[in-house]
Amino acid sequence: MYKMLLCCAAGMSTSLLVTKMEQYCQSQGIEAKIWAVPVADFEKELPVDLIMLGPQIRYAAKTVKEAAGDIPVMSIDMRSYGRMDGESVVKKALELLAEKGA
């Protein structure tokens, strides 16, 4: 089971994206736990397999990567986020995890 953490500013719109991602995973038989937290709280949620950053907090990527250590960190592109395209976000996440050997 993949543990995927989304980091955002406050969690409002990100919770909708989490739902869309979960729906896609269920439809494809992908076992994943996906949840969202404000970026200020992400360290309390570790360890995870992947950290995803909402486009509104891309500025925090360097800080998150430093604190995450070996955990892969990806930024969600604005188009996928704006469209709440859970499928494309999950696909990109799985590609990154495959590259990292997870």
3-state secondary structure of 75: strand
Concerning whether 25 is annotated as a catalytic residue, the answer is: no
Distance of CA 8 to the CA centre of its chain: 9
Inter-residue contact 32 to 25 (CB < 8 Å):
yes
Closest CA to 11 of 24, 94, 30, 45: 45
CA–CA distance, 53 with 74 (Å, rounded to integer): 6
Q: Give me the phi and psi of 52, to 5 degrees please.
A: -115, 135
Among residues 8, 48, 71, 93, the one annotated as catalytic is 8
Which residues are part of the catalytic machinery? 8
